[in-house]
Amino acid sequence: MTLSFRSELNSAEVSLSTQNQPKITDEEMMQAVRTLLLGLGENPDREGLKDTPKRVVKALQFLTKGYHESLDELLNGAVFTEDANEMVLVRDIDIFSSCEHHILPILGRAHVAYIPNGKVIGLSKIARICEMYARRLQLQERLTLQIADALQGLLKPQGVAVVVEASHMCMVMRGVQKPGSWTVTSAMRGVFAEDARTREEFMNLIRHNANFH
């Protein structure tokens, strides 16, 4: 297990501005995939590869569709006033992301907890927030912070805790080739950052293995 904590990444903000860049068509993207195939020594006109450029472009667009989603749209008003102040935890949220260095899969799970301060959010929306940020080209550290900051901003809770455990295919399949290596990243806000007992309670809850599915 590799533990990664990057203190220099204080802000999850990342510039996604493409305003000054020309609009790229699907056709141009398909041409680029065709060029890649040629560069790899393949024959893009053989039967099995004929539709590959189209399929690759469609797959990449799906895997990065989070660029075209926003918190506002996704929540659609699903924040409610509620006099609750016990920890809410959603664990084992599947993460399917892509690393921004190699565009290879990052597969893992997220565990997200918060302690409300007058506002709660639909539980399924927590998974949707994770998905929106995961479906972009990512760094695991940034993904973790973005999920925490989104909940912090939306709910102004007493605290937020996010732990992401993931395996990076760029490490598993190439480079250091370490199958079974996991990277764990965490972001703690409010009481989870300030109070060791609250943090420990959360860590104990996510350590327990759920066995009912």
Q: Which residues bind Zn ion (CB under 5 A)?
A: 99, 101-102, 170
Bridge partner list, 81: 119
**CB of residue 49 to Zn ion, shortest distance in Å:** 25
**Catalytically active residues, by annotation:** 99-102, 140, 168, 170
Select 59 or 123, whichever has its Cβ closest to Zn ion: 59
Among candidates 147, 66, 83, which has minimal Cα distance to 120? 83
**CB of residue 14 to Zn ion, shortest distance in Å:** 16
Select 50 or 101, whichever has its Cβ closest to Zn ion: 101
Structural contact between residues 128 and 71, judged by C-beta atoms closer than 8 angstroms: no
**CB of residue 18 to Zn ion, shortest distance in Å:** 22
**CB of residue 25 to Zn ion, shortest distance in Å:** 27
- Both tokens of 119, joined, read 């506002």
Ranked by CB distance to Zn ion, the top (closest) residue is 170
